[in-house]
Chains A and B, each alone.
Chain A
């Protein structure tokens, strides 16, 4: 599309490392997170959770709990079914699934909520939860996705004929022919383990029912306030104008705070029924047992190749473990992995099959880079091709990698690459890193018996996800975003956007974009997010859409509002509009006059008879913007690793990233996103793992078991930027913030693979914990 309203070329603040406006309140402990809110008469909820992975609920006895002084109510699935509607998730290619607000007949994973206690304080609510007696009849559990698909497996959802809820195949180009013409077919396997988002602030809600107005205010650390409101109203049988979602400061989301959870809905329904405000703050054990999890995928690839390394075609088989319930369509995220597997390479003959199983484990959902396994799979396949053919892995990459000259390029799966600097980024990274020199050092290290390796990962990060993407994927969502920009009568600016910050710094970056679009300064702009009574209906924060969609629409709205400012100024001075401009809050006419934005705003609001004929009083503009189906950014990650053969520990002596995210709104914020994303990827590969035993017990319910990266292990990332603006977005912004995860998973795994190559070890499964690595070393040393 062409952005006709975008006539602004000069950028004063887009691209500047403006310090964050939101920092002061966070640094001084004055941020307002969900648990910092309280209202008069507030009560507290605590959930009774299943200790079984799979069991029938025979009876729930609440008398003892209700008898405890301070307890107000105990509600079970039966009561909630009277107060709320079920959720139904359906997507083409997937069996539709329903979910009651709380289970009625059986529990499906350890941590499944079965009852909710409401009491006057949190301590009493927790005491009472222990007094609720639930009689269970345990059933056989299924905890492994491929076993779950077997005909004799216990059914996780009794309403379905099978646990294999999706099984879809897609084919593009001439795959059979490509494999028939191949000199060699190279196979590779990739198993990624279950992880969880672990935002430092767990989930939480404060639901307040105004019985006089019949309105619910739902304070919730949310990523997508408006879609949440629509969903909440529908589940509660309220009209949408009876529900207000207000998201205070959010202590990290990473995808976990997108859906309407059953606990949150329960609390809202009970707040209405009891006519009492109820707060629920999840504790960490609940977060690690029962908030969404992610990433448990398995992929096998077959590449049809020529002896010179040319890839003729690719086949992939993909599996995902979706856990016990569908808060999203189970085939949704693994489908994205399938769509993007060709990555930076010229692969037109491509076919994939995806399968999704449900199991007796916590439900899955998107986590920062839901398609995170993709880069590891693509680049791991390339490395395997190089290994089998005895070629340099960089040469195989260069041979198959798309160049800038070949773009716009339509990938096999139907998406268009444009302005991606894949080769440039790879070459720049290798040069900055000193690739040849590293290979020499590696040879010397190997001669000394040291395990030194290099992981090379070229990332194509799909992001922003416009409405056309949702349509083509068959998902009933949209990808547009909305902004309202107001110059108030005193000349200060308020901006409301539908996205919601979970730490991304939107209050700064949107202010920068608006400052340039409008001709004001970032400090004159206040950005207000998260309150559905204030912000326009937008699709919220997900899929790295904050920059291109969120800041993008605010920028476009500001550009349009600037046009009105200029028309008004031109009228006041009786000059052609081309002779007027606005910059840093000053409206200037070529060759002389100037007027403060404040004076102009005063006229617009308070002196409407001065306005040109037909111009409406006020300076306020609302705009929506639907971005392209996908914006892509690209990056190259180079990760040097050294494996200690004695301890199995992986050390990262050097980590270099070249990123091309197009126009950067704020390079400091972008670097922070890259560092955080890459650290999350590394943490996932080396430390994190949700462990279920064969009976479905979760063994990682604390941070002493579920390990996160700390300052002691975090590498220093050396970041370089290429900035190739997108031709298709406001100001040339591309999305970013998820690719760092994809790149790091790939680069660390492939680095370890490279390090262990001399002993013939195959690194085809994560996490790369010391025990797994020692196991690999032992196995291969013994067999040699």
Chain B
């Protein structure tokens, strides 16, 4: 253990000033300190993608990031992408396409898809598959997830 550091992170548009240990993972900071449990931890070594959040708009692994590294940064979690009422277009497409089963990996996929479609609003299927290949799902076999992302892109809906 080392002395705690004071950090200021803007999470889902709200400035959070907290004292954290330097070794505290961003995923633990979000889940434990801020109670944002929509970010899931599936492997703690950066492979499964369940913990994906946006750091300054870029999809990032919160399990491989220390909270102190986000001092001054803007972090967006799955909660931050969710409208007050209803679903965002990606969430809606996942629902309509049956692109989730147990739901554990789902927030990570939605954050990843959001960042990807912002960057590439009209992707090919190969590009979609490649973009999603850093997120693991054990239930669906991915087919419906790919369909859902395609549907958002083809519908021209803003993620």
Complex Cα–Cα for A677 and B141 (A):
8
A305 to chain B, nearest CB (A): 36
Q: Are A675 and B82 in contact (CB under 8 A)?
A: no
Q: Show 21 residue pairs from A and B whose CB-CB distance is below 8 angstroms, ordered by the A residue.
A: A20-B95, A29-B82, A36-B31, A124-B1, A197-B138, A201-B40, A201-B104, A251-B42, A252-B139, A669-B98, A671-B98, A672-B144, A677-B141, A703-B47, A710-B132, A710-B135, A711-B142, A711-B146, A712-B129, A714-B142, A717-B143
B34 to chain A, nearest CB (A): 12
Of chain B, the residue at the smallest CB distance from A202 is B42
Complex Cα–Cα for A678 and B134 (A):
20
Contact of B95 among A19, A30, A124 (CB under 8 A): A19
Q: Are B23 and A123 in contact (CB under 8 A)?
A: yes
Contact of B91 among A27, A672, A714 (CB under 8 A): A27
A23 to chain B, nearest CB (A): 5
A530 to chain B, nearest CB (A): 13
* Cβ contacts under 8 Å, B50 to chain A: 200
Contact of A27 among B1, B44, B106, B145 (CB under 8 A): B106
Given A199-B138, A703-B45, A710-B136, 6 more contacts at CB 8 Å? A19-B96, A198-B138, A200-B104, A285-B45, A702-B45, A708-B138
Q: Does A504 touch B at the CB level, under 8 Å?
A: yes
* Cβ contacts under 8 Å, A28 to chain B: 38, 78-79, 82, 87, 91
Q: Are A29 and B104 in contact (CB under 8 A)?
A: no
Q: Are B102 and A250 in contact (CB under 8 A)?
A: yes
Contact of A672 among B45, B98, B104 (CB under 8 A): B98
Q: Are B141 and A251 in contact (CB under 8 A)?
A: no
Q: Are A680 and B37 in contact (CB under 8 A)?
A: no
Complex Cα–Cα for A13 and B29 (A):
44
Q: Does B60 touch A at the CB level, under 8 Å?
A: no
Complex Cα–Cα for A202 and B144 (A):
23
As a 0/1 sequence over residues 137 to 178 of chain A, the CB contacts with chain B under 8 angstroms (1 = contact) are 000000000000000000000000000000000000000000
A378 to chain B, nearest CB (A): 24
Complex Cα–Cα for A32 and B24 (A):
23
Of B39, B103, B106, B135, most A-chain CB atoms within 10 Å: B103
Complex Cα–Cα for A640 and B39 (A):
38
Q: In the complex, how many residues of chain B place their beta carbon closer than 8 angstroms to a beta carbon of chain A?
A: 56
- Interface SS majority for chain A: loop
A-B contact count (CB 8 A): 176
Of chain A, the residue at the smallest CB distance from B24 is A123
* Cβ contacts under 8 Å, A198 to chain B: 138
* Interface positions of B from 82 to 96, Cβ below 8 Å from A: 82, 87, 91, 94-96
* Interface positions of A from 24 to 44, Cβ below 8 Å from B: 24-33, 35-36
B122 to chain A, nearest CB (A): 18
Q: A20-B98, A33-B104, A711-B133 are in contact. Are A678 and B21 (CB under 8 A)?
A: no
Nearest first, the 8 A-B pairs at minimum CB distance are: A29-B38, A26-B103, A503-B102, A251-B104, A679-B141, A503-B101, A703-B47, A675-B141
- Interface SS majority for chain B: loop
Complex Cα–Cα for A238 and B77 (A):
42
B95 to chain A, nearest CB (A): 5
Q: Does B41 touch A at the CB level, under 8 Å?
A: yes
B73 to chain A, nearest CB (A): 20
Contact of B130 among A23, A124, A678, A712 (CB under 8 A): A712
Of chain A, the residue at the smallest CB distance from B91 is A27
Q: A20-B95, A711-B129 are in contact. Are A702 and B78 (CB under 8 A)?
A: no
Q: Does B43 touch A at the CB level, under 8 Å?
A: yes
Of B39, B134, B139, B145, most A-chain CB atoms within 10 Å: B139
A671 to chain B, nearest CB (A): 7
Q: Does A22 touch B at the CB level, under 8 Å?
A: yes
Of chain B, the residue at the smallest CB distance from A38 is B32
Q: Does A400 touch B at the CB level, under 8 Å?
A: no
A268 to chain B, nearest CB (A): 23
Complex Cα–Cα for A668 and B147 (A):
13
B50 to chain A, nearest CB (A): 6
Q: Are A200 and B136 in contact (CB under 8 A)?
A: yes
Complex Cα–Cα for A29 and B140 (A):
18
B32 to chain A, nearest CB (A): 8
B6 to chain A, nearest CB (A): 19
Q: A27-B87, A27-B95, A717-B143 are in contact. Are A36 and B136 (CB under 8 A)?
A: no
Of B21, B101, B102, B145, most A-chain CB atoms within 10 Å: B102
Q: Are A200 and B95 in contact (CB under 8 A)?
A: no
Q: Are B101 and A505 in contact (CB under 8 A)?
A: yes
Q: Are A249 and B103 in contact (CB under 8 A)?
A: yes
A276 to chain B, nearest CB (A): 18
Of B23, B78, B100, B146, most A-chain CB atoms within 10 Å: B100
Q: Are A251 and B103 in contact (CB under 8 A)?
A: yes
Q: Does A283 touch B at the CB level, under 8 Å?
A: yes
Q: Are A703 and B48 in contact (CB under 8 A)?
A: yes
Complex Cα–Cα for A33 and B31 (A):
12
Complex Cα–Cα for A393 and B21 (A):
65
* Cβ contacts under 8 Å, A505 to chain B: 101
Q: Does B110 touch A at the CB level, under 8 Å?
A: yes
Of B41, B43, B77, most A-chain CB atoms within 10 Å: B43
* Cβ contacts under 8 Å, B102 to chain A: 26, 199-201, 249-252, 502-503
Contact of B103 among A31, A122, A124, A711 (CB under 8 A): A31
Q: Does B159 touch A at the CB level, under 8 Å?
A: no
Q: Does B105 touch A at the CB level, under 8 Å?
A: yes
* Cβ contacts under 8 Å, B44 to chain A: 283-284
A682 to chain B, nearest CB (A): 8
Complex Cα–Cα for A560 and B53 (A):
49
B33 to chain A, nearest CB (A): 11
Complex Cα–Cα for A285 and B41 (A):
13
Q: Does A716 touch B at the CB level, under 8 Å?
A: yes
Complex Cα–Cα for A676 and B105 (A):
14
Q: Does A254 touch B at the CB level, under 8 Å?
A: yes
Q: Are A704 and B45 in contact (CB under 8 A)?
A: yes
Q: Does B137 touch A at the CB level, under 8 Å?
A: yes
Q: Are B42 and A714 in contact (CB under 8 A)?
A: no
Of A27, A254, A703, A717, most B-chain CB atoms within 10 Å: A27
* Interface positions of B from 12 to 30, Cβ below 8 Å from A: 21, 23-24, 28
* Cβ contacts under 8 Å, A502 to chain B: 102
Q: Are B87 and A24 in contact (CB under 8 A)?
A: yes
B106 to chain A, nearest CB (A): 5
* Cβ contacts under 8 Å, B132 to chain A: 710-712
B136 to chain A, nearest CB (A): 5
Complex Cα–Cα for A268 and B29 (A):
27
Q: Are A29 and B47 in contact (CB under 8 A)?
A: no
A203 to chain B, nearest CB (A): 12
* Cβ contacts under 8 Å, A254 to chain B: 138
Contact of B106 among A26, A677, A710 (CB under 8 A): A26
Of chain B, the residue at the smallest CB distance from A671 is B98
* Interface positions of A from 271 to 320, Cβ below 8 Å from B: 283-285
Complex Cα–Cα for A36 and B79 (A):
14
Of chain B, the residue at the smallest CB distance from A37 is B37
Contact of B100 among A27, A284, A711 (CB under 8 A): A27
Q: A36-B37, A200-B137 are in contact. Are A676 and B47 (CB under 8 A)?
A: no
Complex Cα–Cα for A634 and B89 (A):
37
As a 0/1 sequence over residues 216 to 240 of chain A, the CB contacts with chain B under 8 angstroms (1 = contact) are 0000000000000000000000000
* Interface positions of A from 687 to 737, Cβ below 8 Å from B: 702-704, 708-712, 714, 716-717
* Cβ contacts under 8 Å, A714 to chain B: 129, 141-143, 146
